[in-house]
Amino acid sequence: MAGYGRWLLLLCLLGLGCAGPVKTGEDLQSRALSLNDEGYQYYRQGHFNAAEGKFSQALKLNRLIDRRKGIAANLNNLGVIAQEQGAPEQAMAYFREALDLNRDLEDPAGLSETLNNLGSAYLSQGKVEEARKAYQEALEYAQTLPPGPLLALSLTHLGDAARARRDYDQALDYYRQALAGDEARKDMPGQAVCWQRLGGTFVDLKDYPQAGIYLHGALGEFRRLENTDGIADTLKDLTRLALAQGDREEAALQGNLLLEIYRARGQEQEARKLEALLQNNKGH
C-alpha cells in the first residue's frame, strides 16, 4: 500500500477519479482487467479501433499502478492490433517492450506469448529466419509449462516459418504435432487453426481435395466460435483454392465475403489487393 499516495496524486492530475472517492490500486487493477476483456471482445469481432482504445486505456491504468504483468499483456494486445492495421514497426516496438518486461519478470508464459507475436511480426516483413528463431525460443519456454495452448501455438508458428521457406513437409509435421496436442486437450479453437493451416498448405501443394476438407471444417468451426480473424484467414485460403481450381464463381463468392470483413475492419490495403485480384479473375 506504500505507493498508493503517489499514484493517487497522478490520478487527480490526470483528471481521473477526482470527482468521487479516491480509487485504490486494487480498483484500478480491476478496471484495467475489465478494459482488457472489453478490448478482447472487440478484437474477436474485428472492431480493431474500439479494441485499441480499450487496450490503451488499460495500459494507462496499469502503468499508473506499475502492474508490469498487466503492462506486458496490454503491450502485446496493442502490438497485435498494430499488426492487423498494417503498422509492423509499431507492432515490433510494442512487442519488444513487452519482451523486456517479461524477461525482467522471468515469466515463461508471457515470454512464449510475446516471442510468438514478435515472430509473426518478423514473418509479415519477410524476415523468415528471425521469425523462426523467435518461434523456437517461444517453443522452448512453452515446453517448461504444463501442457496448454502455448505449446501448440509455437508449433503452429514454426510450421508457418517452414511454409514460408517452402519446406512443406516440415510445415505439415509441425501443424500435425500442434493438432495432436489440441485434440488431446479437446481445444476446438486450436484445432480449427490447425485445420486452416493444413488446408492452406495443401493448396500450396496442389492437393485440392485435402485442402477443401480442412478449410471447410475450419470455416464451420470459426463461424460457430464467431472468430472473425479465423474466418478471414480461412476465406482467404478458400479464395486461393477456388482460383487454383479455375472456379471463378466460387472465388467471387468467398472473396466477396472476405472483402466485407476487410472493409468492416478498416483494412483498406488488404481490401484493395483483394478487389484487384477478384477483378482480374472476372477478366479471365
**Per-residue pLDDT at 21:** 46
**Per-residue pLDDT at 44:** 81
pTM for this prediction: 0.84
pLDDT in tens, 229-278: 899 999 999 999 999 999 999 999 999 999 999 998 888 889 999 999 88
pLDDT in tens, 99-141: 999 999 999 999 999 999 999 999 999 999 999 999 999 999 9
pLDDT in tens, 9-62: 222 233 333 334 445 678 999 999 999 999 999 988 878 999 999 999 999 999
Residue written as cell 474500439? 50
Question: Cα torsion at 30, 90, 46, 171 (round to 10°)?
Answer: -110
Lowest mean pLDDT among 24-38, 145-159, 177-191: 24-38
How many whole angstroms separate alpha carbon 215 and alpha carbon 9?
Answer: 54
Structural domains of the chain ordered from first start:
54-180 (1.25.40.10), 187-263+277-284 (1.25.40.10)
Q: Residue 267 carries which DSSP code?
A: -
Buried b (16+ CB within 10 A) or exposed e, 168-199: eeebbebbebbbebbeeeebeebbbbbbbbbb
Do 43 and 81 contact (CB within 8 A), yes or no?
yes
